[in-house]
Amino acid sequence: MLVLGTGTSHGVPMIGCRCGTCTSTDPRDSRSRASILIRTADGTSVLVDTTPDLRSQALAHDVCRVDAILYTHSHADHVMGLDDVRRFNVLQKSAIPCYGDERTLRDLRRIYSYIFDPDTPRGGGIPQVVLVRVVGDFCVGSAIFMPIPLMHGSRSILGYRVGSFAYLTDCSEIPASSWPLLDGVRTLVLDALRYRPHPTHLSVDQALAIVERVAPERAYFTHMCHDLPHAATCARLPAGVELAYDGLTFEIAL
């Protein structure tokens, strides 16, 4: 498991901000937009979301292959790097399946209409992707992925579970029907924007309450704004819980 990005839609540092986190020399305080890369036992590489920082994330962490893309939702900080997957098309000489809910796929067709317009000249300048609607569990390589419905404010989006690992970013609430899908999760990556409440994201205290209920062996927080300096915030968190950071790697049981 490779954490590519852990920041909000603005990223950290924020443009024009001179706060302690945005001017920090701790590399863990530099947060590109939220994304992860899951590498399964058979060598399959699964990217979750294509952020506007995808190119720089791939270069920073030597990502040279993407076999599938899972989308949580279609907000700009999660989809605006889709055009960069054309480089993976060239390297792999194949189209890449993109999984998402109906609304996300509809938005991708609208935002990236040139990709799906048959009159657009084909070639290396057009990403080759195949949209796949998520309606239940699905396989990518040898791994089975389970969609976890979440609420992002008033919008329903998706988290994902594979084996004993769950990735729940950009959520403000876990619906009652989704709690059983988290039984047995041992490693959890969870939205925790800041300490103050927010209408579409979990606060740190809300995220801690979810961690207590799920009871994973370890939990990492993501999609954090500049209100949460890495070292100082981690020092306040309970054992087994810490802030994720760009470039973090860890093993997960699939």
List pLDDT tens digits, range 39-54: 998 999 999 999 999 9
pLDDT band, residue 120 (cuts 50/70/90): confident
What DSSP string runs through 106-132? Answer: HHHHHHTHHHH-TTSPPSTTS--EEEE
Tokens of 203: 């606060």
Domain presence at residue 253: no
Domain presence at residue 250: no
- Tell me if 203 sits within 8 A of 173, measured CB to CB: no
Tens digits of per-residue pLDDT, 128-168?
999 999 999 999 999 999 999 999 999 999 999 999 999 99
Tell me if the pTM is above 0.85.
yes
Domain presence at residue 251: no
* Torsion, Cα of 153, 249, 30, 12 (10° steps): -10
pLDDT band, residue 107 (cuts 50/70/90): very high
- Tell me if 158 sits within 8 A of 148, measured CB to CB: yes
- Spatial neighbors of 112 by CB under 8 A, at least 6 apart, are 82, 83, 127
- Spatial neighbors of 143 by CB under 8 A, at least 6 apart, are 38, 40, 41, 44, 46, 162, 163, 254
Lowest mean pLDDT among 42-56, 79-93, 108-122, 192-206: 108-122
Domain presence at residue 225: yes
Phi, psi of 29 (to 5 degrees): -90, 0
Tens digits of per-residue pLDDT, 4-21?
999 999 999 999 999 999
Q: How many domains, the chain? A: 1
The angle at the Cα of 82, spanning 221 to 175, to the nearest 5 degrees, equals 40
Domain presence at residue 164: yes
**What CATH number is given to the structural domain containing 85?**
3.60.15.10
Q: Residue 122 above 80 pLDDT?
A: no
- Return the pLDDT at 109: 97
Question: CA nearest 63: which of 51, 73, 75, 72?
Answer: 51
pLDDT band, residue 124 (cuts 50/70/90): low
- Return the pLDDT at 77: 98
Domain presence at residue 224: yes
**What share of the chain in percent tops pLDDT 90?**
95
Lowest mean pLDDT among 78-82, 120-124, 164-168, 210-214: 120-124
Domain presence at residue 254: no
Domain presence at residue 252: no
- Tell me if 151 sits within 8 A of 172, measured CB to CB: yes
- Return the pLDDT at 119: 80
Instruction: List the domain range (segments joined by +) for residue 38.
Output: 2-243
Tokens of 152: 């992002």
- Return the pLDDT at 253: 82
